Chains A and B, each alone.
Chain A
Amino acid sequence: MKTLVSRAPILTSTIPALTTLLQVPPLLAGQLSLLQKQLLRHARLAVYDHSLAEDLVQDTLVVVIQRHTERRGEASLLTWAVAILRHKVADWYRSPDRRRMLQVNVEDNDLDGAIEALHNSNASDSDPVPAWQQPENREEQRQMMSVLDRCIGCLPSQIGRVFVMREWLGFETTEIGERLCISQAHCRTILHRARMALRACMQRDWLGKAEHR
């Protein structure tokens, strides 16, 4: 991967400069600031360091600006940009010069507490687990996605990152272990906890609300 040039956090105000420099058509220029926010959301879930997330997003925006005329098909600008960002993030994890990640400590009491809290807010474990109703229409599906989006954002960041590496970057558990310097068993436990926490969160915020409809 190319060396990341800028270490300074990018601000929305740098986008006009970028668009002038690269002669971006006005239609695209108008979408960039929103796109940047959306991409940052993904990037921050995926990497530990905020300024690194901003660098990866900035790199992605440059590619978007340079290659937007090549975009074709039905993919939205956001979907297309997210795919570019995904490559950038995966490349970063695989590059030899990446900065070392913090150890992911699954015994961390804070993590236990956070998941415990999610579970306790739910019905007790002895209660039968209900099936989830599938959303009936686009609006319901959209609401379900928005609840899940918020639930993923509420995961303790270390757990969330492992989940994102698995479900977004598509890394195998062996590779996640290697990149984060944790054992495969440890990785398995973290993913299990992430899914438990997400189930509990969805149970509370999606199913719980749905029952009142």
Chain B
Amino acid sequence: MNWLHSCSRVEELLSQRLDEPLALGDRIRLHLHLSMCTSCRNIEQQLDSLTALSARLFVTGFDWVGPSESGASARAIGAPPDRPT
């Protein structure tokens, strides 16, 4: 067994950390892995963004069927908006 966690295990721990405190051993190995692995640091950043955005989305309520403000809301219902440029 590898003393260092694999990237997939690290992703599990990064998710778990959002819900509950990690054991000391896991915290140390996670920290070491992140210090050496850019991909996992980016996963960490993505998960943080995801959590913050979700919280905002749930709290404010996204007006996805809201009255159209220059068409932005109407486009938001289905496909992402067109980018003409």
Contacts and interface: CB of A to CB of B under 8 A. Distances in A.
A binds B: yes
Interface residues of A, number: 51
Interface string B48-80: 011101111111111111110000100010101
Given A78-B61, A172-B19, A198 B50 contact: yes
Interface string B33-60: 0000011101101110111011111111
Contacts of B66: 34, 38
B67 A79 contact: no
Nearest to B39: A129
A121 to B, nearest CB: 15
A143 B80 contact: yes
Contacts, number: 122
Nearest to B8: A125
Contacts of A34: 65-67
Interface in A98-154: 128-132, 134, 139, 142-150, 152
A188 B15 CA distance: 8
B61 A38 contact: yes
Q: Is chain B's binding surface mostly helix, strand, loop or mixed?
A: helix
B80 A209 contact: yes
13 contacts: A78-B61, A128-B38, A129-B38, A131-B46, A142-B76, A148-B53, A166-B19, A167-B55, A168-B59, A192-B11, A199-B50, A213-B83, A213-B85
Interface of A: 34, 37-39, 41-42, 76, 78-79, 81-83, 86, 128-132, 134, 139, 142-150, 152, 163-164, 166-168, 172-173, 188, 191-192, 195-196, 198-199, 202-203, 205-206, 209, 212-213
Given A81-B61, A203-B46, 13 more contacts: A38-B65, A39-B61, A42-B58, A42-B61, A78-B60, A128-B38, A129-B38, A145-B57, A149-B64, A163-B54, A168-B59, A195-B15, A195-B47
